[in-house]
């Protein structure tokens, strides 16, 4: 029964994120300086990304909420693939699918087909809820102390991602 309720909740979140109008427009930034609850995800390559680890390392964390079927997300992937290598030693980054059906197999295929250079984790809609995000294609920037510094749902250029990443490092 618990598994069924978890599945039903996950499907509901995906449905809401796809078919609801997000409260954040494509160019607005929402700032929430409250501490983020600790989270941990494992990438499709077995790498652990956790807020606790990032805070211990004194690094900011960027979580990009995505989905394999999301056209808005797909527009951001090339920019993220270009920028991530420049910042991989200065911050922790992970793209996490909000779709529970985006398992490791689906995400590995996506990484290969789209030549993604950044860490990717399988479907975890609970993380979207934990972070307070409303939909996929949302970039969440968390400072080295565990506070959300920005949350933006937008298609961004590589230079825009660079500015966001740099501002997090300097915060």
- Judge whether 55 and 39 are in contact, CB under 8 Å: no
Residue 33's pLDDT is 56
Note the pLDDT of residue 126: 95
* CB of 134 closer than 8 Å to CB of 17: yes
Query: What radius of gyration, in Å, describes the C-alpha atoms of the chain?
Result: 15
| Residue 124: Cβ-neighbour burial (10 angstroms; 0-12, 13-18, 19+) | buried
30: left (phi over 0), alpha (psi -120 to 50) or beta: beta
User: Quick one: pLDDT at residue 82?
Assistant: 97
Domains of the chain: 2-170 (3.40.30.10)
Q: Is the pTM of this model over 0.85?
A: no
Rounded Cα–Cα distance for residues 43 and 60 (Å):
18
In this structure, the number of other CB atoms found within 10 A of the CB of residue 116 comes to: 18
CB 121 within 8 A of CB 115: no
Q: How buried is 161 (Cβ within 10 angstroms: 0-12 exposed, 13-18 middle, 19+ buried)?
A: buried
pLDDT of res. 35: 82
Dist. CA 7–CA 10, nearest whole Å: 5
List the chain pLDDT tens, one digit each, 171 residues.
Answer: 444 434 444 444 444 444 333 333 334 444 445 688 999 999 999 999 999 999 999 999 999 999 999 999 999 999 999 999 999 999 999 999 999 999 999 999 999 999 999 999 999 999 999 999 999 999 999 999 999 999 999 999 999 999 999 999 998
Dihedral angle sign, alpha carbons of residues 146, 152, 153, 158: negative
DSSP strands (E only) in 67-121:
92-97, 120-121
User: What integer pLDDT is reported at residue 34 of this predicted model?
Assistant: 66
């Amino acid at each position: 029964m618990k598994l069924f309720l978890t599945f039903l909740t996950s499907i509901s979140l995906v449905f809401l994120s796809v078919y609801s109008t997000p409260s954040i427009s494509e160019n607005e930034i929402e700032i929430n300086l409250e501490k983020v609850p600790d989270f941990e995800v494992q990438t499709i390559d077995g790498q652990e990304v956790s807020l606790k680890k990032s805070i211990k390392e004194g690094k900011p964390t960027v979580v990009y909420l995505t989905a394999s079927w999301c056209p808005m997300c797909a527009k951001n992937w090339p920019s993220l693939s270009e920028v991530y290598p420049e910042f991989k030693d200065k911050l922790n980054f992970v793209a996490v699918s909000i779709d529970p059906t985006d398992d490791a197999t689906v995400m590995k295929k996506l990484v290969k087909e789209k030549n993604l250079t950044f860490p990717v984790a399988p479907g975890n809609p609970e993380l979207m809820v934990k972070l307070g995000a409303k939909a996929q294609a949302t970039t969440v920037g968390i400072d080295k102390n565990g506070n959300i510094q920005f949350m933006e749902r937008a298609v961004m250029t590589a230079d825009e991602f660079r500015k966001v990443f740099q501002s997090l490092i300097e915060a």
